[in-house]
Every structure is written in structure tokens, then in C-alpha cells.
Amino acid sequence: MNRIFHDYLDKFVIVYLDDILICSKTVEEHLAHLDKVLSLLRQHKFKINGEKCEFGRTRVLYLGHEISAEGLKPDNAKVASIRDWPCPQSVTEMTSFLGMTGYYRTFVKNYSIMAAPLTDLTRLDTPWEWTDECEAAFRHLKHASTLYEVLKLPDPDKSFIVTTDASQYGIGAVLAQQEGPKLRPVEYMSKKMPSQKLAKSTYEKELYAVYKALTHWRHYLLGRFFILRTDHQTLRWMRTQSVLSDALKRWIEVIEQYDFDPQYLKGEYNKVVDALSRKPDFSGALMIEFDLTNNVTQSLVEAYREDQFMSEIIRRLQAKDKKTSTEFELVNGLLFLEKAGNKQLCVPNSESLRSLFLGECHDATGHFGYKRTAANLLQRFWWPTMMRDAQLYVETCQVCQRDKPCTQAPLGLLKPLPIPKRPGESLSMDFMDTLITSKSGMRHIFVIVDRFSKYAGLVAMPKTTRTEYVIRMFKENWVRDFGLPKSIISGRDVRFTSELWKAAAAEQGTQLQTTSGNHPEANGQAEQLNRTVQHLLRHYIKPNQEKLALIASLYNNAVHSATRVSPNSLLLTFKPRLPLDFLLPENQWTAAPGTLEFAYHYEQKMQQAVEQMQKAQAAMIESANKHRRESSFQVGDKVWVKSSELGQEHGISRKLMPQYFGPWEVLDIVETDPDGPSYVIRIPGHLQTYPIFHASKLAPFKETDEFPFRRSMLPPTMDGEVDIDDIVDHRELPAQRPAGRGRPPKPKLQYRVRLGHHTDPKEDHWFTREELMQAAPQVVADYEKSLQKGKRPMIED
């Protein structure tokens, strides 16, 4: 028959022995095809039996399969016989059952892995023992054979797409073709992983899956181009690997015969094939993958009874409700939702179970973000509020909050200081290091800026300058000429925070305002002048020369962008004449100082300067706040502090350091701090850090009580020891009075210690003073110093 119909085979004629199948797309085409076939049979003197022939059918049974325009599916009568097959009692009966189901294995996902316990019973070296695993496999195999998928008939004019995957249990592959916007499977293939390959690397298992898939579909793929998809990215370069084992060489030699384009497919999109290579018993897969016990399966079954929503679904399934049966399935007491060909375990409303599965899909898989955690969950589980719970679980994960950088806009809207009322009223100060020491030993520049007129004074200073010298230079270079200011804005240099500087300011009635730690933006006036001075120094300064007077003169005579006039015009009430001015005619208005006209024009100039500064501030606020968020921390809230604000731990790379430390309590809000709100944080005393932090250095601490059974969120220690966060309390333990008249012993001190990263006060521990002095003497010293200052009360036991 093959010789007679050689020219038409696989075009519109299919022949198996004496069975002839004629396939056509239209009635007219079918008549023409039928005429050709019958003419060839008459030409070669063959007769047909009319009683066994069928013509013009849209559905036809052929070799135990039903073929139609929809595709290929098993014969319903055969499926019914599999469904009603009794439990095998011997190896012979088991062989018959596997022979029947194996004929339709191309319709069943993960057939080889699913039938593995039953196949083992047919081996000569295995005694017959019908276990619970065999019973589960028998039921699953019967169930999978009745819920088959209609396969697409292969189209020789379209390219094939082969998708493979491998696991420790087996390999799986799907042969598919494009049909409209979606891929439709042509055939499934799965194979149990041989025992000798279980210990092999992932790369070898994935390559073995490719090798088996290509040889299995050799008749479809050899001699034509197709696409190979795999979730193992290194397989894209399998043809260029130089060092190969003997087995890999044999596989590569076979694979090289095929013409294909290897493409990487992420595992989360490789769901169908991934299911082929996984364990058939879903509860068994959970136990293997998540190290669960039978108690979890039993807990799921028991929790279904207490969950009103899921118990109602189970009741409908037991009542044979058709609508419910199309979406849900009950297997061995476990409820599954079938969605897009993927079965998801329904998790009842149990805090312990949902916390367990959320932890396995987030904590145990790398603490990735919400999207990846949700993708892990969607592959395996379902419950009504799963997406909301996943988002809340990830947001309140302390490990993620502590270790991941914030990708949102920084907190703290820009709130500039109010504009002073007149020149000389408010100053900004800073020290700038030029990194060049002059002949006279000067290296630093003491920068003084009037915040109204923008007038600048620059004073050269040695590298090591005491506070007394700074005070004297300030009086000689500013106070003597322009008087005492009402307020001074400065950074947190030790000379600006010293008691001597504070006493000198109080004596002259000046209010001091210091910025929060490591936030120079708050003293923007001085920082901006630092940049300008550096720019001018590059032009005019040379080694061993000091031209700060020239630089200050150039700056003060230039028109400032904020006021639109020069600083000299506002502070000195006039603009000094330059050599160039002698070449020009006298075209500026002049009035004698002390006259009403002079006062009127000067007041008008200051008013215009205020208006220009208001416009500049508004533009600056609008520009800066586009990339900032408002801070809403309140007293009593817990926050994280950026690790860059605190000292680096000894022996740990900064790249591996947590992004944040804490969480610690907000004690107060500094609303008047320059550049927006800053906060007083209750940081441990032994850290020796200024406790006021700008909002941009903080992150909100998020917590919830919805997952009480979530796994520990404490970070792993570097040396097996736990850090002390702070001493939060202490008490005196009365000592036993000795017999006789001796002096009574002093009571022993006991300290209540909060360990690092422990946020629950119930996790605090009590230690004696002797124990803490051995482990953390600095922490004890700082705590006892605060006791002497009366900052911490002592509790009575």
C-alpha cells in the first residue's frame, strides 16, 4: 500500500496495513482525493469492502483515536474501559493495564513519572506489594487518562517548537506548533530519570532531556528547522563547549544532526514541561520540594472542614456539581484548582499553613520581590486573598527591609529656611579643605556667608585649628565689620558643636542651628559657596600663594543668581568701582548716604532682592520635590536608619553590609531643621552617633500580625554570636546576708538586654553585670554613664 500511494502519503493519504485514511479540508477537495485513491486501487486490481468503509465524515475513529477538525484524542470507548479498570491483583494484570494506558501516553502529561511505582511492580527483582503509593499512582493514572487534552494534528508546512525540562525525578518535553496567537501541543513525552543519572549535574540532566526529545520525535524534526526552548540558559552554548565527557559527546553528536535555534525560556513560563518532569503525586511533590511531612497533608484536610468557603466547594464536588467540577478537583482529600492547564493546591484559611507556603515561596527562594514571590505561588497554590497576602508578606519581611536598598524617591520634602529680614541677620558657616598647604601652614578655609545678601567672607586657617582660634577669627573678620548675627547655620564639625562655641554664641545672643548628621544639603548656602570657591581657586591659586581676598572680592562683586544683584550692593549699600568703570560715563544714580532718598532706594533694592529670592526658592522647591516624598513619621514609630550613617562593622565588606540598621524608635521631630524634617532616634548609646537624622536617611518599619507562624527573620551571624543592640533596663538582685555581724554584701546588678535585630520586647534577656562586662564592656559603660546623668530610671524588681 505504501508503494501504491507513495506520491500522496502524508499529504492527504495515511496508510496502516490495509487501513486507508483520506484527509481533506473541503467537500470538493475530498471528492477529488477520493477519486484519485479509488482510481489507484482499481488500477492495481484491489477491491474494498463497502460495509467497512465510511465516506464524508467530519469525525472518524482510526487505530483507537478519534480524528476531527479539533485535533486528535483517544477513543471514548477505550477511555471508559481505562476508567472502569479494576485494581490489578497480579503482574499480568498490571502489564495489561500499563499496555492499555501506555498506548495513549502521548495525551497524558508526565506519564512515565506517574506510572513509575506501577512499572516497578512488573520487574522480576521486585516482589508484588500493593502500597499506598501504588494505589495513588493507579488512581492518578486512571484520572489523567480520562482528563486528556485534545492534541493538534501536525502541520508539515509550519515549524515545530520543542520545549524540554528535567528534574531529579524525570524528563519532560512538549512538541508544539503555533496556532493563531497560542501554541498547541502536538504530542507530550516524558521519561523517568534513570538511577545512574540522578547524581549528575543539572546541565547533564537538561542535555539528556534534549537528546531524548530529539530522538523521540526524529521523524518530525530531522531535516527541517525548528525551535528548541529550555529553561537552562547554558544549553544555548552546548555546541561550543570544548571539554565534554564521553556521554555528552555521544549526545552532542546526535544533537548536531538537527537544525534548530536554541532559545532560553524562564522557568516561570515553562510551566507545562516543568509539570511533566515533576513528581506526579502533588502532595508528594510538596513533601519532597518543601521537606513537608504527612502531618501537613493531614492539616490541610482538617483545615478544609473549618474553612466555610472551601468546605462548600468540596461539598459541591461530592454532589457531582458540573460547574464546580470544571474548575476544581478533589484528589486524596486535597482540593486543587485547575487553571490554564496548571493544577494549584487550594490552601484553606489557616494562618500556620498560609504562613508556611508563603515562607517557602519567598524566604526559602532568595527573598525576591512581590512579583517573583507571586509567580512562585501561582505555580503551586491558590486561595482567595493570595495576592494580597503575598504583597503584605513581602512588604513586612524584615530581611528585605533591612538588606534591600529603597528604590523609591527619598523621604523629606524640601523646606528652605525663611528669608532673613535684613543683611547680617543670619549666617551660614562651614570649613573647606583645599588639600594644599601653603608656606604659612594654611590649608582650610573658614567660609562665612550672609544668608540675605549672599556676601561671603573667606578666612585661611591651619589644618588643626582649635575652637578658640575660630572664635577669634570670626570676631576679627566679621563681627568687627558687620556686627553680631541673630542666628548661625552650620554643619556638625566638632568646633561648631563644642561647648566653648555654644557658650560664645550664648554670650553674644546668637542662636545656633546645626544640620543633621551626614546631610550637608541642609547647609546649602555654605556648600554652594564651597563649590564656587573651588572653581575660582582652580583659576587663581598656585602652590604657596594665598589669594582668598581676591577670590572673595570677585565673588562679592558678581551678580548673584538668587538676588539678581551683587552681594556688595546689598551689604555695603553700594557696588565698589572696578578699573573698567573709569572708561564708562557716570550713568548710575547716586545719593548721599543718610538722606531719605538714599534710604528709600536702598529699601526698594532690598525688597526687590527678597522678591527674587522668593522666586528662586519656589523654583528650587518645585524642582527638588519632584523627586522627593513627604515624610510622615510620628513620635513612637519605628524606623530603619541607613547603615552608611553608622560605623562600619569590623571585618565586613561594606558591599555585604545591610542597607539599614534598626528598627529604632522615633523620640522627637525637629520640624525647624534646615532642608525639611529631621528626627531624634533612640539609637544604642554605644554607637557613638549623633541621634538626629534627616528623613532621607530613614525608612519606615513595616510589620503585621497576620503571619504569626512565619519563619525567623533574624540575619545569620558572621561568627555564630549575636550582637547586643542596647541595654533597655536594669534591676538590683538582693544578695543573701551572711551569718554573723559582717557587712552585708552589695546587691548584684542585672541588665535587661535587647539583642540585635530583635524587635519584640518578649525576646529580651537578663544578664548579670559580670557577664556583660566580658562580652560588651563599652555597652555597659555607656549605659552606666547615662544613669549617672539621670537619663534612665531604674526599675524595681
End-to-end CA distance of the chain: 102
Residue 81 CA, chain-centre distance (Å), reads: 51
How many other β-carbons are positioned within 10 Å of the β-carbon of residue 347?
25
Domain with CATH 3.30.70.270 in the chain: 74-147
Give the span between the Cα atoms of 106 and 759, in whole angstroms: 56
Number of residues assigned to the chain: 797
Q: Does domain 426-581 have CATH number 3.90.930.12?
A: no
Lowest mean pLDDT among 160-169, 280-289, 430-439, 510-519: 280-289
Burial track 698-728 (b if 16+ CB lie within 10 A, e otherwise): bbebbeeeebeebeebbeeeeeeeeebbbbe
Residues 6 or more apart whose Cβ sits within 8 Å of residue 794: 730, 731, 732, 787
Give the span between the Cα atoms of 83 and 74, in whole angstroms: 13
Please say if the pLDDT value at position 533 is more than 80: no
Proportion of the chain above pLDDT 70, given as a percent = 76
Give the span between the Cα atoms of 487 and 509, in whole angstroms: 9
Which set of grid coordinates corresponds to residue 327?
Answer: 474548575
Which set of grid coordinates corresponds to residue 237?
Answer: 552554548
Instruction: Output the pLDDT for position 475.
Output: 92
Cell 465524515 locates to: 57
Instruction: Output the pLDDT for position 555.
Output: 84
- Strand ranges of the sheet holding 342-346, from the earlier edge strand across to the other edge: 328-331, 334-339, 342-346, 381-382
Domain with CATH 1.10.340.70 in the chain: 293-391
Please say if the pLDDT value at position 90 is more than 70: yes
Residues 6 or more apart whose Cβ sits within 8 Å of residue 265: 163, 229, 230, 231
Predicted structure pTM score: 0.51
- Which of 12-26, 388-402, 578-592 reaches the highest mean pLDDT? 388-402
Give the span between the Cα atoms of 67 and 151, in whole angstroms: 10
DSSP strand E in 231-285: where? 259-264
Helix (H/G/I), strand (E/B), else coil: 225: strand
State the angle between helix axes of 294-306 and 351-362 in degrees (0 to 180), rounded to the nearest 10. 130
- Strand ranges of the sheet holding 182-192, from the earlier edge strand across to the other edge: 182-192, 170-179, 160-166, 225-230, 259-264
Please say if the pLDDT value at position 199 is more than 60: no
Please say if the pLDDT value at position 304 is more than 50: yes
Q: How many helices, marked H, and strands, marked E, lie in the chain?
A: 27, 27
Mean pLDDT in residue range 436-446:
83
Which amino acid makes up residue 610? Answer: V
CA 577 to each of CA 529, 557, 582, 594: distance values in angstroms, whole numbers, following the listed order: 23, 9, 8, 20
Say if residues 141 and 118 touch (Cβ distance below 8 Å): yes
Lowest mean pLDDT among 346-360, 363-377, 414-428, 587-601: 587-601
Residues 6 or more apart whose Cβ sits within 8 Å of residue 218: none
List beta partners, residue 433.
Answer: 444
DSSP strand E in 409-524: where? 426-433, 442-450, 456-462, 487-490, 511-514
Give the span between the Cα atoms of 512 and 427, in whole angstroms: 10
Greater model confidence, 169 or 320: 320
| Helix, strand, coil shares, percent, the chain, to 5 | 40, 20, 40
Instruction: Output the pLDDT for position 145.
Output: 65
Mean pLDDT in residue range 90-105:
77
Q: Which of 237, 166, 234, 232 is nearest to 200 (CA)?
A: 166
Residues 6 or more apart whose Cβ sits within 8 Å of residue 151: 71, 72, 73, 106, 107, 184, 185, 186, 187
On average, the pLDDT of the chain sits at 78
Cell 513595616 locates to: 702
pLDDT bin (cut points 50, 70, 90) of residue 320 is confident
Instruction: Output the pLDDT for position 735.
Output: 66
CA 257 to each of CA 119, 159, 210, 225, 244: distance values in angstroms, whole numbers, following the listed order: 33, 17, 13, 11, 18
pLDDT digits (tens, 9 = 90+) for 460-473: 888 888 999 999 99
Please say if the pLDDT value at position 718 is more than 50: no
CA 528 to each of CA 228, 518, 523, 533, 568: distance values in angstroms, whole numbers, following the listed order: 60, 16, 9, 9, 18
How many other β-carbons are positioned within 10 Å of the β-carbon of residue 633?
19
Domain with CATH 2.40.50 in the chain: 724-789
pLDDT bin (cut points 50, 70, 90) of residue 240 is low
Q: Which CATH class is domain 74-147?
A: alpha beta
Which set of grid coordinates corresponds to residue 531?
Answer: 563649590
Q: Which of 511, 500, 510 is nearest to 465 (CA)?
A: 500
Instruction: Output the pLDDT for position 784.
Output: 80
- Strand ranges of the sheet holding 456-462, from the earlier edge strand across to the other edge: 456-462, 442-450, 426-433, 487-490, 511-514
- At residue 148, φ and ψ (nearest 5 deg) are -75, 165
Give the span between the Cα atoms of 75 and 62, in whole angstroms: 9
Instruction: Among 3.30.70.260, 3.30.70.1450, 2.40.50.140, 1.10.340.70, name the CATH number for the domain at 293-391.
Output: 1.10.340.70
Instruction: Output the pLDDT for position 281.
Output: 39
Greater model confidence, 633 or 66: 633
Which CATH number is 724-789 given? Answer: 2.40.50
- At residue 255, φ and ψ (nearest 5 deg) are -65, -30
Mean pLDDT in residue range 439-466:
87
pLDDT bin (cut points 50, 70, 90) of residue 524 is low
Say if residues 610 and 419 touch (Cβ distance below 8 Å): yes
Give the span between the Cα atoms of 391 and 387, in whole angstroms: 6
Please say if the pLDDT value at position 552 is more than 90: no
Query: DSSP state, 423?
Result: T
Residue 45 CA, chain-centre distance (Å), reads: 74
Lowest mean pLDDT among 30-34, 154-158, 572-576: 572-576
Please say if the pLDDT value at position 544 is more than 60: no
List beta partners, residue 336.
Answer: 329, 345
Question: SS3 sequence, 585-596?
Answer: CCCCCCCCCCCH
Please say if the pLDDT value at position 581 is more than 70: no
Which set of grid coordinates corresponds to residue 789?
Answer: 546623668
154 Rama class: left (phi>0) / alpha (psi -120 to 50) / beta: beta
594 Rama class: left (phi>0) / alpha (psi -120 to 50) / beta: left
Architecture per CATH, domain 160-277, reads as 2-Layer Sandwich (3.30)
Which set of grid coordinates corresponds to residue 63?
Answer: 487505530
Please say if the pLDDT value at position 391 is more than 90: yes
